[in-house]
Amino acid sequence: MQLSNSEEQLMEHLWTLEKAFMKDLLEAYPEPKPATTTVATLLKRMIDKKFVAYAEYGNSREYFPLVKKTDYFSKHVNGLIKDFFNNSASQFASFFTTETNLSTLELEELKKIIDSQIQKKKK
């Protein structure tokens, strides 16, 4: 199941806050802030999709994510690799490193990350 762009933006706030009441979520948005009803609608959809849950305290609801950010984005990156790069991580890496205008420093940092992962896998 996937989130819309608006839902992803709200989910980003929830991941950052870890748990939040409606007022906390509204405060997290930059100006112009969305209407309370808009955020309530997004939360309802996200609850239906099993991305968010809440605890009730009287008339208030404290919302929290049910899906970890790393799990959500890992699924999307793996889907991207599968759908657009013939399930080839090396094709994805080739495209990513040649088509995204990375600086030499950024490429060197990526190389360090890859070298580190290779060392971990060898152990």
DSSP codes, 60-111:
EEEEEESS-HHHHHHHHHHHHHHHHSTT-HHHHHHHHHHHS---HHHHHHHH
At position 39, the amino acid (one-letter code) is V
pLDDT in tens, 83-122: 889 988 888 888 888 888 889 999 999 899 999 999 998 8
In whole numbers, what is the pLDDT of the chain averaged over residues? 92
Which sequence spans correspond to the domains of the chain?
A: 5-65, 69-122
> The domain 5-65: what is its CATH number?
1.10.10.10
Which pLDDT belongs to residue 48? 96
User: Quick one: pLDDT at residue 78?
Assistant: 87
With vertex at residue 90, the alpha carbon angle to CA 73 and CA 113, rounded to the nearest 5 degrees, is: 65
- pLDDT of residue 39 exceeding 90: yes
Which amino acid, 114? Answer: I
Picking from 2, 38, 5, 6, the residue whose alpha carbon sits closest to that of residue 22 is 38
Q: Residues with Cβ < 8 Å from 4, sequence gap 6 or more?
A: 45
Predicted local distance difference test score (pLDDT) of residue 105: 93
Question: What average pLDDT does range 16-28 have in this prediction?
Answer: 96
Span 42-99, pLDDT tens digits: 999 999 999 999 999 999 999 999 999 999 988 888 888 888 899 888 888 888 888 8
